[in-house]
A and B are shown apart, each in its own frame.
Chain A
Amino acid sequence: MGIKVHEAVMMAFEIVIEGPAEALVFNDPDFQHEDLNFLSRSQRYEQAVRKSALMVMKLREYGIADPEEIYWFKSFVHRGRPEPLDLHLGMFLPTLLTQATPEQQDRFFMPAWNLEIIGTYAQTEMGHGTHLRGLETTATYDPATQEFILNSPTVTSIKWWPGGLGKTSNYAIVLAQLYTQGQCKGLHAFIVPIRQLGTHEPLPGITVGDIGPKFGYDEMDNGYLKMDNFRIPRENMLMKYAQVEPDGTYVKPLSDKLTYGTMVFIRSLIVGDAARSLSRACTIAIRYSAVRHQSELKPGEPEPQILDYQTQQYKLFPLLATAYAFHFVGAYIKDTYSRVSSDINEGNLSELPELHALTAGLKAFTSWTASAGIEECRLPDIYVTFTPSCTYEGENTVMMLQTARFLVKSYNQVSSGQRVTGMVSYLNDLSRQRIQPQHVAARTATVPISDPVSLVEAYKARAARLVEAAAKNLQAELNHRRSKEDAWNRTSVDLVRASEAHCHYVIAKLFTAKLSEISNAAVRAVMTELCLLYALYGISKNTGDFLQAGILTDAQITQVNQRVKELLAIIRPNAVALVDSFDFHDVHLGSVLGRYDGNVYENMFEWAKKSPLNKTEVHESFHKHLKPMQAKL
């Protein structure tokens, strides 16, 4: 059923890419260049800038303005890789839109839109990351001149990492501790010019540069920024919410949660990115595994495709199932985000806490899983491009603990007799049923392991049990009269586990819910198999939790392990069609191993011949080092 499934899956899930945009880019000679693998970092940066500049021109030329279309166009131009204008388009412009006053928008937005201003978003400092309150950069208001004086008082306060800061930007939105009338008012955002318009030289008082080579992100000029008594006008503080009046009076914002909106948004994008990166990795690994032959399964027969080995299927198919699962999670978060943000615009903040907790946890869960999966596929390029997402926009452990805070809070609400809603509503059952691990043995016989819905129930029970255990351990530490913070720290390993279990449940639930929306029977069948594999594989990798809580018995675990292996064989015939459905163009994949036509070896040889070390028949080091040595010895 190969190709039919491919088309049907694409239709069912709208895994549609913008055909015209794709053609516009891939057929445009201006966007062609030498294989990036053979370029130095400086050359890669230059290529990326060239393409970004060209991209902006072409977007205007073609009149592409819809954000979704821009997204696809950009992703084709840069083939899914980071680029120096990412922060300008993804952070600088949106922050202006959401946090600038109308007057500020008049001054900055159009120039920025037209790229007279190229901006970045400078938050992280060398010594301070996810814990925003710890940032040290200061902005001190001087009422005499009506200016803010910006300073980087210590080495640790140097802004470090912002993309596009090193070489590209001439402006930055800088997050700094605001001091006015002798008091610290916490973090605020300021629009700071950093380079001279015209010459692009750093302005006096500004030290700016590239932070050097990294693990991936070669084309991005992640930068540092040091400010010494650098003055900007009062009107350069982003003042849609908080304000500093000319005399230095500080006016508080209505809600401090609102400024977190941008980060929630970015985190929700990372979930979608996790799905796409993992899909690319699966596409390459599965296609290659169908081309590569190795050893023998049956004596005397030719070497089989390595995809026929159970161990290879066991490595790859659960990842394939995960890639599909994350697609659905990404779509769900995107929808939820746009719904909640329209509520926020109408002044309703009630869903913000759960959204914040959910995006934090799912960002961590999906980026961890995807990055481990990409590593399993052993794909250096995708790995280094994707894996930093475990750290940026909130370090994952910290993210998990944020989710845990919400879970514990919800648990406590339930314990005190209130009901909770949304994804955590399973906690309501805890008080009614009082799940006792010792007494559930009788109940477990009813978990049929071939039904996704009942597996979701098992995940739910596990999440409930781990949330409860973490909350109780936390309470026990508090009963030992430890300080709140100390007790939290001593329970944090439990808390992270509880968050992971919660996220795992949410993902299994969303995947399962998606099945009923599929009308095409063949697609529903193959998706149900993937969904089962996702759920069962997760159980087999975490058997301890399910056994210990008495959710499943030994015998059932054995069945689960057995069923996982059966599913591998069932999915095998559709494996290539399932990755073809992701519909990555060869150019986008950028992989010799993952080519659609499978002509791996011929192309690998052609590719290697272009390597810089092969530029000359005899390498210069022969004359420099080898020959003199041989002459001497």
Chain B
Amino acid sequence: SVNHDLASERQTASFSVEKLTAWLDGGAEHTRIRRAVVEAIECDPVFSRENQYFQSQNERYEAAVRKAVHLQKKMHEMGWTENGPEFKYIYRALSGDVAFLLHRIFMRSISVLGSDKQIAKWIPLASQYQLIGSYAQTELGHGTYLQGLETTAVFDNATQEFILNTPKISAMKWWPGDMGRSATHTVVFAQLYVHGKCYGVHPFIVQIRSLQDHSLCPGIIAGDIGPKMSFEHIDNGYLMLQNVRVPRENMLNKFCEVQPDGTYVRLGSQQINYFTMTTVRISLISDEAVIPLMKACTIAIRYSVVRRQSKLKPGEQEAKILDYQTQQEKLLPQLAAAYAFHFINDYLQELFEKGYREVQRKNFDTLPELHAFSSGFKAMVTQYCTSAVEICLRACGGHGYSLLSGLPSLYTKILASCIYEGENTILLLQAARFLNKCFMAASAGQPVPPSVTYLAAVKHGKCPAKTKVDFLSPDIYTEAYQHMAVRLVSSTAAKLQDLIQSGVKKHDAWNQCTVQLVQAAKAHCHYITVKNFAETVEKLKTEAGIQKIMKHLCDLFALHGIFSNAGVFLHDGYLSGAQMDMVTASYLDLLAVIRKDAVPLVDAFDFTDKNLNSALGSYDGQVYQRLYEWAQKSPTNMQVSPAYERYLKPLLHNTRSKI
């Protein structure tokens, strides 16, 4: 039975949850397919995550490998293929708790960076799991800055081979997933040397373990990097190479090639080498940031209508904690953000697919924009979602800290997304470099990509809003965000120019402006997110009830941003102090409005209880019973604690020696 406090929330929904779910999925048919995938995965005991919170790293790893192997069988059984409509839901259904994710990146990098001949050789082997791949880029001493990698690959004319080496400890490959214990092959990124000349970082396919007995190949030192904050199920690894020879054909050579005589030929843009990372950055936004935030909101909001604390009115029952303004102010903006980022992800997917088609045709014009967007939004969304998940965790009080709530594992996992595939500050600076360039171009009257044309339209002036209701107009707040973004981009550009003109060296000037550049890049992404949300709501004509609540969420997302970054909007007087009070008033009013639909809005995300794997967040709201039952399953309760016999007993009984 459903807890009545939670049940009552569902009776007053202002819209159809089922229809909202279908719309989020991109149509009822997608919802149907997604549910079928989830159903098939969840009814299979091999994929169960029931004991996950009690397992050791070794057990988690073994389970993840077992699942990955079983998944191949399952896909075959169900008739799912990698190009089928079901495929993208599998990862979500497994909550990512499966090994060989890097195997997929291995395959993707060969598909993107390899020649047709290389694709024909490696991809069938990989898809048949005749080998298991990994992707070895990051080194112990070097991360996001690829040019700094120290691993070397020296071409040996005589044998037509590359000789790979790890020249010092900081050059050791460190972190690649699936590499610690599983992988037989990996794509190694190394500095290419031909005839003593360095040609920069290139990818090489290297076998690291025997295909017969899985022992390490000669010259290879590899292992697991040890416990981490999250990803217990993945064998992130280290790799040291000592004079490891691979044939000339093992350098991925769609875009550059070393010919038998050692001649280096470039067949396309150098940037293309980084294209794999661009695609990974875009694809992780939904799976690794938005979905975890949706889950965290579901858990925290459901729990907040079941949990009662203190009294709002004397004589009444203790109030649901979601009825407290401070609790609403913690959770509802995060809910609005989950929706905002769901829509920005749709927008980015579209942009990326367009760009990808161009790249396939060897037209690289869109790459800078794509690269800047993938960097900026990856950083902005993962950072925002990480804080948001943490807010959800803290909003659940003590029980949020129990692993059984599901929130700590969501948090630790999403936190990692701020670092992998490019550390966020560096990514924001890359986006800022693009914005700065576009701003300079736009100021000089040159054409810029459509997404940044707004930078040319520098408008001075003031916000026209007169009452708090005016701030519920998307035109008013979108304009405010645009103004703020333009101001931050242009003032930073001006400062950069000033410094350079006053004789400061270009790189020093850049470093002196980086704090502001980061702020400008965030402002740009925030503006695009608000604008895209408003446009999405605008286009949504069919369902009045859904459009209305989405409009509220859009308003809340936008006003929350202004409320919590008041300074940048007040700075040049675009908003006055009085207008800021109006923003605050409208913002706080919206909390009470959205409060009524909070539970239906998270129900629409349509996570199953097994998928949430949370004692606090399940659909029926039986929070306390579940917490108590699950705790009793803890291994710490299964056995008599050895600590008692060994240490406590002597302590409790041996009184004489103590006195």
Residues of A within 8 A of B (CB): 37-38, 40-42, 45-46, 49-50, 52-53, 56-57, 60, 114-116, 118, 124, 126-131, 133-134, 155-156, 158, 160-161, 166-168, 170, 197-198, 200, 209-217, 221, 224, 292-299, 303, 308-312, 314-315, 375, 378, 380, 384, 388, 390-392, 395-397, 401, 437, 483, 485-486, 489-493, 496, 540, 542-550, 554, 557, 561, 565, 601-602, 604-605, 607-614, 617-622, 624-630, 633
Q: When the two chains form their complex, are residues A630 and B66 in contact, meaning their CB atoms are under 8 A apart? A: no
Q: When the two chains form their complex, are residues B627 and A53 in contact, meaning their CB atoms are under 8 A apart? A: no
A43 to chain B, nearest CB (A): 9
Tell me the number of A-to-B contacts counted with CB atoms below 8 Å: 350
Name the 8 nearest CB pairs between A and B, nearest first: A544-B566, A543-B567, A215-B408, A380-B229, A613-B224, A611-B226, A295-B145, A212-B634
Question: B225 interface residue, CB < 8 Å from A?
Answer: yes
Q: When the two chains form their complex, are residues A621 and B62 in contact, meaning their CB atoms are under 8 A apart? A: yes
The interface residues of chain B lying within 8 Å CB-to-CB of A391 are: 394, 397-398, 400-401
The interface residues of chain A lying within 8 Å CB-to-CB of B496 are: none
The interface residues of chain B lying within 8 Å CB-to-CB of A52 are: 647
The interface residues of chain A lying within 8 Å CB-to-CB of B69 are: 625-626, 628-629
Q: When the two chains form their complex, are residues B148 and A295 in contact, meaning their CB atoms are under 8 A apart? A: yes
The interface residues of chain A lying within 8 Å CB-to-CB of B309 are: 128-131, 134
A355 to chain B, nearest CB (A): 23
The interface residues of chain A lying within 8 Å CB-to-CB of B129 are: 629-630, 633
The interface residues of chain B lying within 8 Å CB-to-CB of A294 are: 142-145, 148
Question: B176 interface residue, CB < 8 Å from A?
Answer: no
Question: B202 interface residue, CB < 8 Å from A?
Answer: no
Please judge, given known A-B contacts A124-B398, A303-B145, A614-B224, whether A211 and B326 are in contact too, CB under 8 Å: no
Interface pairs (16), CB distance under 8 Å = A38-B226, A115-B658, A134-B310, A200-B652, A214-B403, A215-B408, A298-B505, A303-B148, A309-B511, A485-B314, A489-B323, A493-B325, A549-B577, A601-B170, A605-B172, A614-B223
A215 to chain B, nearest CB (A): 3
Distance A166 CA – B640 CA, assembled complex (angstroms): 12
B654 to chain A, nearest CB (A): 9
Known: A53-B648, A200-B648, A311-B515. 15 other contacts (CB 8 A): A116-B653, A212-B633, A216-B401, A296-B148, A296-B507, A303-B142, A314-B515, A489-B312, A548-B581, A611-B57, A612-B57, A613-B181, A613-B226, A618-B215, A626-B65
Q: When the two chains form their complex, are residues A221 and B652 in contact, meaning their CB atoms are under 8 A apart? A: no
Distance A9 CA – B71 CA, assembled complex (angstroms): 60
Interface flags for B623-647 (1: CB within 8 Å of A; 0: not) read 0110110111111110001111011
A168 — nearest CB in chain B belongs to which residue? B648
The interface residues of chain A lying within 8 Å CB-to-CB of B170 are: 601
A565 — nearest CB in chain B belongs to which residue? B515
Distance A483 CA – B313 CA, assembled complex (angstroms): 8
Q: When the two chains form their complex, are residues B56 and A197 in contact, meaning their CB atoms are under 8 A apart? A: no
The interface residues of chain B lying within 8 Å CB-to-CB of A489 are: 312, 323-325
> Which candidate, B290-298, B342-350, B568-576, B602-610, is the interface stretch facing chain A?
B568-576
Residues of B within 8 A of A (CB): 53-54, 56-58, 61-62, 65-66, 69, 72, 128-130, 132, 140-145, 147-148, 169-170, 172, 174, 180-182, 211, 213-216, 223-229, 235, 238, 307-314, 318, 323-327, 329-330, 390, 393-394, 397-404, 407-408, 411-412, 415, 419, 425-426, 429, 505, 507-508, 511-516, 518, 565-573, 577, 580-581, 588, 624-625, 627-628, 630-637, 641-644, 646-653, 655, 657-659
Distance A392 CA – B394 CA, assembled complex (angstroms): 11
A186 to chain B, nearest CB (A): 15
Please judge, given known A-B contacts A134-B310, A294-B145, whether A618 and B651 are in contact too, CB under 8 Å: no
Q: When the two chains form their complex, are residues B624 and A544 in contact, meaning their CB atoms are under 8 A apart? A: no
Residue from the list B224, B398, B627, B655 in contact with A392, Cβ < 8 A: B398
A45 — nearest CB in chain B belongs to which residue? B643
The interface residues of chain B lying within 8 Å CB-to-CB of A224 are: 628, 631
Distance A608 CA – B313 CA, assembled complex (angstroms): 56
Q: When the two chains form their complex, are residues A40 and B226 in contact, meaning their CB atoms are under 8 A apart? A: no
Please judge, given known A-B contacts A489-B312, A492-B324, A625-B66, whether A557 and B571 are in contact too, CB under 8 Å: yes
Q: When the two chains form their complex, are residues A548 and B566 in contact, meaning their CB atoms are under 8 A apart? A: yes
B184 to chain A, nearest CB (A): 9
Q: When the two chains form their complex, are residues B643 and A297 in contact, meaning their CB atoms are under 8 A apart? A: no
The interface residues of chain A lying within 8 Å CB-to-CB of B570 are: 543-544, 547-548
Q: When the two chains form their complex, are residues A557 and B567 in contact, meaning their CB atoms are under 8 A apart? A: yes
Distance A210 CA – B635 CA, assembled complex (angstroms): 9
The secondary-structure label for the interface of chain A is helix
Q: When the two chains form their complex, are residues A622 and B655 in contact, meaning their CB atoms are under 8 A apart? A: no
Distance A614 CA – B566 CA, assembled complex (angstroms): 51
B318 — nearest CB in chain A belongs to which residue? A134
Q: When the two chains form their complex, are residues A610 and B226 in contact, meaning their CB atoms are under 8 A apart? A: yes
Distance A471 CA – B412 CA, assembled complex (angstroms): 39
Q: When the two chains form their complex, are residues B56 and A612 in contact, meaning their CB atoms are under 8 A apart? A: yes
A301 to chain B, nearest CB (A): 9
Please judge, given known A-B contacts A42-B636, A489-B312, whether A543 and B568 are in contact too, CB under 8 Å: yes
A604 — nearest CB in chain B belongs to which residue? B140
Distance A618 CA – B214 CA, assembled complex (angstroms): 7
Q: When the two chains form their complex, are residues B652 and A170 in contact, meaning their CB atoms are under 8 A apart? A: yes
The interface residues of chain A lying within 8 Å CB-to-CB of B627 are: 126, 160
Residue from the list B329, B403, B508, B647 in contact with A49, Cβ < 8 A: B647
Distance A134 CA – B227 CA, assembled complex (angstroms): 41
The interface residues of chain A lying within 8 Å CB-to-CB of B308 are: 127, 134
B346 to chain A, nearest CB (A): 30
Q: When the two chains form their complex, are residues A485 and B313 in contact, meaning their CB atoms are under 8 A apart? A: yes
Distance A395 CA – B323 CA, assembled complex (angstroms): 16
A512 to chain B, nearest CB (A): 23
Distance A70 CA – B211 CA, assembled complex (angstroms): 58
The interface residues of chain B lying within 8 Å CB-to-CB of A221 are: 636
A72 to chain B, nearest CB (A): 21
A299 — nearest CB in chain B belongs to which residue? B507
The interface residues of chain B lying within 8 Å CB-to-CB of A549 are: 577
Distance A60 CA – B656 CA, assembled complex (angstroms): 12
Please judge, given known A-B contacts A309-B511, A391-B401, A543-B571, whether A126 and B580 are in contact too, CB under 8 Å: no
Q: Which of B132, B142, B651 has the most CB of A within 10 A?
A: B651
The interface residues of chain B lying within 8 Å CB-to-CB of A545 are: 566-567
Please judge, given known A-B contacts A49-B643, A610-B226, whether A621 and B65 are in contact too, CB under 8 Å: yes
The interface residues of chain A lying within 8 Å CB-to-CB of B637 are: 166, 209-210, 212
The interface residues of chain A lying within 8 Å CB-to-CB of B314 are: 485
Distance A114 CA – B318 CA, assembled complex (angstroms): 42
The interface residues of chain B lying within 8 Å CB-to-CB of A214 are: 401-403, 408
B510 — nearest CB in chain A belongs to which residue? A297
Please judge, given known A-B contacts A216-B401, A295-B145, A310-B512, whether A378 and B56 are in contact too, CB under 8 Å: no
Residue from the list B313, B412, B643 in contact with A486, Cβ < 8 A: B313
Q: Which of A114, A133, A197, A548 has the most CB of B within 10 A?
A: A548
Q: When the two chains form their complex, are residues B225 and A608 in contact, meaning their CB atoms are under 8 A apart? A: yes
B408 to chain A, nearest CB (A): 3
Distance A292 CA – B174 CA, assembled complex (angstroms): 14
A132 — nearest CB in chain B belongs to which residue? B310
The interface residues of chain A lying within 8 Å CB-to-CB of B648 are: 49, 53, 118, 168, 200
A163 to chain B, nearest CB (A): 12
Q: When the two chains form their complex, are residues A211 and B325 in contact, meaning their CB atoms are under 8 A apart? A: no
Q: When the two chains form their complex, are residues A161 and B398 in contact, meaning their CB atoms are under 8 A apart? A: yes
Q: When the two chains form their complex, are residues B54 and A213 in contact, meaning their CB atoms are under 8 A apart? A: yes
Distance A311 CA – B229 CA, assembled complex (angstroms): 24
Q: When the two chains form their complex, are residues B57 and A378 in contact, meaning their CB atoms are under 8 A apart? A: no
Q: When the two chains form their complex, are residues B505 and A543 in contact, meaning their CB atoms are under 8 A apart? A: no
B426 — nearest CB in chain A belongs to which residue? A295
Residue from the list B132, B400, B403, B577 in contact with A547, Cβ < 8 A: B577
A592 — nearest CB in chain B belongs to which residue? B226
B283 to chain A, nearest CB (A): 23
